[in-house]
């Protein structure tokens, strides 16, 4: 479509209509449109002979010869009473009798019928929605040699549109052009409507410009066609040209224009149209008023929508539903229910769209009690058999966590055969983390030869964590032709990213023909999640250069990529961008900004961001407490937790977990026990993150029995919880219990990760289990495909060192596939000091001092080693170098 019409900065110019458009010559549009008719007007002629096909199975006869044509006048006089009888019966509603009379006339003499009578019959059949009869009569007329008039053509084109036989549009266009009726307003408006509804708006606009008419019906047809085909700006410009040509609009015009404004979200332009409505005294029209309500509701001005609604003298179900859907968009559940109840009190018929809007509001606002009442209302009505209503019920119960009711609705009434309900049920299962059941239902769907839609496939892709299964789904998506769908493609590259294949994810992202803001945000988030910060920043920049304005989620994804001090400046740039665009006070961005400064060790800036956002809600408090806790500002974390609770805000599982970590760092089991009680009271103990933090607290404070008691009470422990329990046993030298817990974890189908193996190797190290340690070390790569990291090598050096096998430890270090780090050499140095091995200790001390690190512990160990052998000059040099690097030894302290 013409870019000048589509992309013109019309929203900035619509304030004053006289200067908005200038003089728009719509004929210039055709010069750049991909389709253009080359038409030559010819006068209508009854002697034109042509052969054409009205349908694939019917062929029209050629027009009769002039000799036969002259006999028509005689035939007309003979059969005029029968024609009049047919017309009178069609007008009185006896349509089948009328068809019998016409068939009798056709069988007696197929030469000529009375045109005006038959045109009237065609109109009557259309009014009774018997469009196939209209098409039949028209074909009989043509085969009998009768030339239909403009009204007959208008009626048969209307029937063709109603029957959605859009493929016949070019045929009727040719017929109309040959007989010269393209300038007739009746025929022209019908053709425009036919092509527009068939998705050929370019051709509809071309026909309009060729048969240009000052008929308001034709203008309405082309304006409505533009709105229907998503060309709302062209619709508004056509309106300007319409009033410039002194063709005054009516209620239908205004309804279409308000729909165009709603489609593009132009509230100011819509208000201007509303002023025209008042000027032309059309505000009492029900359809116009409903369109105005819909505009204000979709643009978020619910006060104006309510005011317009209350001013309407007559309201229909569409008016009520438009207002209710507006409150749903604003997530105002109370107002939604208020007007829904008022609607029922006024005895307004409730349709399927109304009830789905109310169900969606209940789902978004988690109104469980009201949901059951509305379900009862639906059950008593005929709407219970409507697939869309049942899908909305399934989604509702899924949102409020009642999966059993979702399954019940899904199975009742034979709804299983409707694709929309399968998608809703799978989505409900995914939302509530019934992943196995969701996959089972998806496979059952395929076995029953039901083709999953894009929503269903996206839901399944969101839970895929196996790259092999993900690739199989990718192949299926390509096979069914959904790979170019924006939603499905976004889900695909997000799946690849989640499965660790960030390269495949980015390749698929680059192949997308069109990318929306969600797709860009997902890819940025994928890079940030995998530590590809530079790629995330580059993509964020490209997104802005593409003209896509980042929203709060996109900015949060970019801020997440700033995960260390080296990205602090980049994080400040993104923070500044959000500040300039008025998004810095958003809760989501504020929380992400606080988290970013926390990861970059700039805790003061995090505090300033918190103070700047005056509306400090639960999310912001949680972010600040977490920032203090992760930066060892434990006292501040506990104080802010106290301030938060005194403001009346409820704590969530994230806040509770963060403050428990702070208690563990301060070795305060009494305070931790109090928070444990709060977590039980608030139901937060069911969150594994809270349980894991409590396990860490009790383990650090030596209350291992309480750890086990707490662990046994967890219904579905995750990997972090299992690892924390194993680490607690390892910390207290209880290797037997640690290894038994590890075996129990594997028996429960939980796959260990690299952190789990650190705890296992540590347990072996503290108990001298050398052989067992090597067994688990080797099983990392052989059984689980986990490549050992520096901390695993350090555990093995510690294992050998504690056993006094220092030479084996050196040999192990020499065989390492990577260069040993400071942690490995300092571990060996500590073991050498215990066993007094000066030779190997000297080697380890030299390696430790070669690292320019700010780790004071390693330098202190080297200093103590030198002191043990009486090398005081070396001790002085090490202490001096520590002062030069700004390092200092942390003083010892006791929690007692």
Of 136-145, 381-390, 567-576, give the range with the top mean pLDDT. Answer: 567-576
Q: How confident is the model at residue 832 (pLDDT cuts 50, 70, 90)?
A: confident
Mean residue pLDDT across the chain: 79
pLDDT of res. 53: 30
**What is the three-class DSSP state of 88?**
helix
**For the segment 612-632, what is each residue's pLDDT rounded down to a tens digit?**
887 777 888 888 898 998 888
Last residue of a domain, one of 165, 181, 197: 181
% of the chain exceeding 70 in pLDDT = 81
Q: Specify the DSSP element, H or E, that contains 529.
A: helix 517-529
Q: What is the mean pLDDT of residues 545-552?
A: 87
530 is written with which tokens? 């995998």
Give the pLDDT confidence of 395-442 residue by residue, as tens digits.
888 888 888 888 888 887 565 567 888 888 999 899 888 888 898 989
145 belongs to a structural domain: yes
List the structure tokens of 47.
């002697």
User: Does residue 815 form part of some domain?
Assistant: yes
67 found inside a domain: yes
Nearest to 112 by CA among 140, 92, 86: 140
Q: Give CA–CA dist 535/11, Å, rounded.
A: 35
CATH classification at residue 808? 1.25.40
Q: What is the tens place of the pLDDT at every residue in 641-657? A: 888 888 888 888 888 99
Count how many domains the chain has: 2
User: How would you class 868 by CB atoms within 10 Å of its CB: exposed for 0-12, middle for 13-18, buried for 19 or more?
Assistant: middle
Q: Report if residue 650 sits inside a domain.
A: no
Domain boundary among 181, 196, 218: 181
What span, in angstroms and rounded, lies between the C-alpha atoms of 519 and 491? Answer: 9
Which of 98-107, 480-489, 883-892 ranks highest by mean pLDDT? 480-489
Two structure tokens written together for 359: 């169900």
C-beta separation of 282 from 254 below 8 A: yes
pLDDT tier at 880, thresholds 50, 70, 90: low
Has residue 174 been placed in a domain?
Answer: yes
> Which residue, 181, 216, 238, sits at the end of a domain?
181
On whether residue 561 sits in a domain, the answer given is no
Q: Is the pLDDT of residue 454 over 80?
A: yes
Q: Is the pLDDT of residue 65 over 50?
A: no
Q: Does residue 761 belong to any structural domain of this protein?
A: no
90-148 pLDDT, tens digit per residue, is 444 444 555 555 555 444 444 445 566 677 777 787 787 888 888 887 887 777 777 88
Q: Is 879 exposed, middle or buried (0-12, 13-18, 19+ CB in 10 A)?
A: middle
Q: How confident is the model at residue 22 (pLDDT cuts 50, 70, 90)?
A: very low
User: How many Cβ atoms are within 10 Å of 80's Cβ, its own excluded?
Assistant: 13
Q: What is the mean pLDDT of residues 531-554?
A: 89
Phi-psi region at 139: left, alpha or beta (left = phi > 0; alpha = psi -120 to 50): alpha
**pTM of this prediction exceeds 0.85:** no
Does residue 316 form part of some domain? no
Q: Which residues contact 762 (CB under 8 A, 6 or more apart)?
A: 727, 730, 731, 795, 798
User: From the CB of residue 20, how many other CB atoms can be counted at a distance below 10 Å?
Assistant: 18
What is the domain extent for residue 177? 42-181
Beta strands in 74-176 (DSSP E): none
């Amino acid at each position: 479509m013409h870019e000048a019409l589509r992309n013109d900065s019309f929203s900035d110019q619509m304030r004053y209509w006289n200067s908005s458009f200038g003089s728009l010559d719509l004929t210039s549009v055709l010069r750049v449109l991909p389709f253009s008719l080359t038409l030559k007007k010819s006068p209508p002629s009854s002697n034109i002979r042509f052969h054409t096909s009205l349908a694939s199975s019917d062929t029209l006869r050629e027009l009769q010869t002039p000799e036969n044509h002259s006999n028509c006048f005689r035939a007309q006089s003979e059969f005029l009473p029968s024609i009049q009888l047919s017309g009178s019966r069609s007008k009185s509603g006896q349509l089948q009798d009328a068809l019998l009379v016409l068939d009798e006339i056709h069988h007696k003499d197929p030469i000529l019928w009375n045109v005006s009578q038959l045109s009237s019959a065609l109109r009557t059949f259309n009014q009774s929605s018997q469009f196939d009869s209209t098409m039949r009569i028209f074909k009989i007329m043509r085969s009998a040699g009768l030339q239909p008039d403009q009204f007959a053509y208008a009626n048969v084109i209307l029937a063709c549109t109603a029957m959605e036989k859009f493929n016949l549009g070019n045929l009727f266009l040719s017929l109309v052009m040959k007989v010269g009726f393209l300038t007739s307003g009746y025929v022209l408006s019908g053709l425009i409507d036919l092509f527009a509804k068939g998705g050929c708006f370019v051709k509809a606009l071309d026909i309009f410009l060729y048969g240009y008419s000052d008929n308001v019906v034709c203008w309405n047809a082309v304006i409505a066609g533009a709105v229907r085909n998503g060309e709302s700006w062209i619709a508004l410009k056509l309106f300007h040209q319409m009033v410039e040509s002194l063709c005054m609009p009516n209620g239908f015009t205004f309804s279409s224009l308000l729909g165009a404004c709603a489609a593009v979200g132009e509230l100011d332009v819509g208000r201007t149209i509303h002023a025209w409505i008042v000027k032309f005294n059309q505000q009492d029209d029900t359809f116009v008023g409903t369109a105005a309500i819909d505009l204000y509701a979709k643009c978020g001005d619910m006060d104006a929508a309510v005011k317009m609604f209350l001013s309407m003298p007559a309201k229909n179900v569409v008016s009520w539903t438009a207002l209710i859907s507006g409150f749903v968009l604003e997530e105002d559940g109370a107002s939604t229910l208020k007007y829904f109840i008022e609607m029922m009190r006024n005895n307004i018929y409730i349709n399927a769209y109304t009830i789905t809007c109310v169900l969606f509001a209940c789902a978004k606002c988690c109104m469980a009690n009201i949901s059951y009442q509305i379900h009862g209302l639906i059950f008593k009505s005929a709407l219970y058999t409507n697939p869309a209503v049942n899908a909305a019920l399934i989604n509702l119960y899924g949102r409020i966590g009642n999966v059993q009711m979702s399954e019940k609705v899904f199975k009742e009434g034979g709804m299983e055969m409707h694709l929309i309900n399968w998608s809703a049920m799978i989505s409900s299962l995914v939302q509530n983390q019934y992943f196995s059941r969701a996959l089972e239902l998806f496979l059952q769907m395929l076995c029953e030869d039901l083709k999953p839609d894009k929503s269903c496939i996206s839901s399944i892709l969101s839970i895929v964590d196996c790259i092999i299964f993900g690739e199989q789904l990718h192949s299926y998506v390509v096979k069914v032709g959904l790979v170019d769908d924006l939603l499905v493609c976004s889900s695909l590259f997000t799946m690849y990213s989640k499965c660790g294949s960030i390269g495949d994810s980015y390749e698929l992202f680059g192949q997308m023909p069109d990318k929306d803001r969600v797709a860009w945000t997902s890819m940025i988030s994928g890079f940030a999640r995998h530590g590809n910060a530079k790629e995330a920043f580059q993509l964020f920049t490209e997104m802005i250069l593409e003209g896509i304005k980042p929203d709060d989620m996109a900015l949060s994804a970019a801020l997440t990529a700033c995960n260390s001090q080296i990205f602090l400046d980049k994080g400040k740039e993104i923070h500044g961008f959000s500040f300039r665009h008025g998004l810095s006070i958003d809760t989501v961005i504020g929380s992400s900004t606080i988290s970013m400064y926390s990861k970059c060790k700039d805790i003061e800036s995090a505090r300033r961001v918190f103070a700047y956002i005056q509306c400090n809600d639960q999310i912001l408090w949680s972010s600040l407490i977490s920032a203090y806790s992760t930066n060892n500002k434990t006292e501040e974390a506990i104080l802010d937790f106290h301030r938060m609770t005194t403001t009346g805000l409820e704590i969530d599982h994230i806040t509770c977990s963060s403050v428990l970590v702070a208690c563990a760092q301060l070795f305060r089991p009494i305070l931790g026990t109090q928070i444990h009680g709060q977590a039980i009271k608030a139901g937060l103990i069911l969150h594994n993150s809270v349980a894991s933090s409590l396990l860490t607290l009790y383990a650090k404070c030596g209350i291992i029995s309480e750890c086990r008691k707490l662990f046994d009470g967890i219904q579905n422990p995750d990997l972090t919880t299992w690892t924390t329990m194993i680490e607690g046993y390892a910390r207290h030298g209880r290797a037997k219990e640690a290894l038994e817990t590890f075996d129990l974890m594997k028996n429960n189908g939980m796959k260990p990760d690299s952190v789990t193996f650190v705890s296992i190797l540590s347990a072996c190290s503290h108990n001298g289990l050398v052989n067992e340690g090597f067994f688990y070390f080797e099983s990392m790569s052989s059984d689980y495909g986990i490549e050992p990291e520096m901390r695993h090598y350090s555990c093995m050096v510690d294992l050998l060192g504690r056993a006094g096998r220092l030479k084996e430890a050196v040999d192990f270090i020499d065989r390492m596939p990577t260069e040993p780090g400071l942690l490995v050499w300092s571990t060996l140095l500590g073991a050498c000091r215990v066993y007094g091995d000066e030779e190997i200790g000297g080697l380890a001390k030299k390696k430790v001092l070669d690292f320019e690190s700010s780790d004071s512990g390693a330098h202190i160990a080297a200093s103590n080693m030198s002191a043990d052998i009486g090398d005081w000059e070396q001790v002085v040099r090490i202490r001096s170098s520590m002062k030069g690097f700004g390092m200092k030894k942390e003083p010892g302290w006791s929690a007692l």
